[in-house]
Amino acid sequence: MSIKSRPGRLHHTAYVSKDLEATRAFYEDVIGLPLVATYTEKDELFGKERVYCHCFFELADGSALAFFQFADPADQAEFGPAIPESPFIHVALNVDKATQEELEARIVAAGIEAPNTYVLEHGYCRSVYVKDPNGMILEFTHDAPDAADGDAHRRATARAELARWLGGDHRNNNTYRHDAAA
């Protein structure tokens, strides 16, 4: 099948919030994403009437991070299980160097400290991680100046590299951080 088009950008991601005001304060006041829409709704959903609030925090490209909170604690428990405590489950957002520096300063000014924030140098990018009030990890990543140099090669070899790894050959291929195996 030939793919003629693909989605243009992320519209929004959605999560269930433990506390919408704490979530609003974090995303608006600390991170700087404006609250651009709040829908308060009552709907027949999944066999029951549900009452909830749905808030959208806008990114620079018009996409959003969205959060729900339910009025009924039973609905909140059903749809809002805890976000897993794993650094491998996160939302990564691209930023330029100045924005990353500004975010780091705002995170420090908000009193957010380790283990709720940390920095990783991936080689091809530098990432600042911070945990929101819901336990979700956000990554603000800034690409290294030469990261684009190998883009054509990575695109051309992506499927072969995946097949190699899935086939059991787990040699490193990140030449930015480690010596890649020959």
Domains and CATH numbers, the chain: 9-81 (3.10.180.10), 83-145 (3.10.180.10), 149-182 (no CATH)
pLDDT tens by residue, 49-70: 999 999 999 999 999 999 999 9
Q: Report which of 61, 56, 67, 55 is spatially closest to residue 10, judged by C-alpha positions.
A: 61
| Structure-block tokens of residue 17 | 């919030």
User: For residue range 79-120, what is the model confidence (pLDDT) as tens digits?
Assistant: 987 888 888 899 999 999 999 999 999 999 999 999 999 999
Are 82 and 131 in contact by the 8 Å Cβ rule? The answer is: no
8 A C-beta contact, residue 143 and residue 125: yes
Q: What is residue 82's predicted lDDT score, i.e. its pLDDT?
A: 80
Band of residue 182 on the pLDDT scale cut at 50, 70, 90: very low
pLDDT digits (tens, 9 = 90+) for 5-38: 888 889 999 999 989 999 999 999 999 999 999 9
pTM: 0.87
**Burial of residue 25, with CB atoms counted within 10 A of its CB: 0-12 exposed, 13-18 middle, 19 or more buried:** middle
Higher pLDDT, 46 or 148: 46
> What distances in angstroms separate CA 16 from CA 57, 66, 136, one per listed residue?
14, 8, 10
